[in-house]
Amino acid sequence: MDELSAFKGAHSQLADFERELFNRVDLVFTGGQSLYEVKRKAHWAVHAFPSSIDVSHFGKARTITSDPQDQAGIPHPRLGFFGVIDERFDIELLDAVASQRPDWHFVMIGPVVKIDPETLPKHPNIHYLGPKKYEELPAYLAGWDIALLLFARNESTRFISPTKTPEYLAAGKPVISTSIRDVIRPYGELDLVRIADSPCEFIRAAEDFMANEKRTEWLSRVDDFLADISWDKTWAQMSDLINQAIEAKQRRNARPVRAAEALPQRAAVVVA
């Protein structure tokens, strides 16, 4: 799902363990296109499965009209993020934008891990609401004006494919993201998500969204895109590949073995 060896505190032998694991498995699934591109030469059967979406769950945000209690008192406009707040989070960008636009309010949902909470920017217009349950997320999303992908650009984000991208879109919220490769492709290229790295770019993108309240055409394109993806479809494709791998192994095991090749064949079966 990620290039974990690049994460803060990663085990020094993690890359070695991954190579050993690849030698033992029949299939490798990657949680994004960028990760697929870097792993496809490490194993003979690597398949990309980018983040999918439970459209009906996050689509509830389009009709919810009441705010959760801890969000109800936060003024608009609200710009929100949910996810783990760790070394992948762009602290500097949040700090700069919140400082420059004190009239905007930033709702941060998720646990703070692997970084000191004291390093997070503290401004009256930044609201850290802590972790929430999956079932609660649509209610929070419903009350946001813009959804954010506040990822720093570093080694730990080089291959991420944020699941929250289609989740935000399913909720009908305009999205601003830093230039994460698996967000640029396809969401940025299809003009479904705005890409912004600097505070000036970020503020301009948010102002454009706020000035254009009628987003019917954009939302129609979002729904057309999301109609082609779902976790059910992802699982069906994965299941087909698993079944094909099982059938191929059964055929290999059923093939008559000549005495001269018996030992290598048994060894191959054990490794697999």
User: pLDDT digit string (tens) for 59-107?
Assistant: 999 999 999 999 999 999 999 999 999 999 999 999 999 999 999 999 9
Residue 265 pLDDT > 60: no
pLDDT tens for 109-128 read 999 998 999 999 999 999 99
Question: What is the location of CATH 3.40.50.2000 in the chain?
Answer: 55-221
Say how many Å lie between the first and final Cα of the chain, rounded: 22
* CATH numeric code, 55-221: 3.40.50.2000
pLDDT of the residue at 215: 87
Average pLDDT, the chain: 90
Q: Given pLDDT bands bounded at 50, 70 and 90, which one contains residue 256?
A: low
> Tell me, what amino acid is at 238?
M
pTM: 0.84
Percent of the chain residues topping a pLDDT of 70: 93
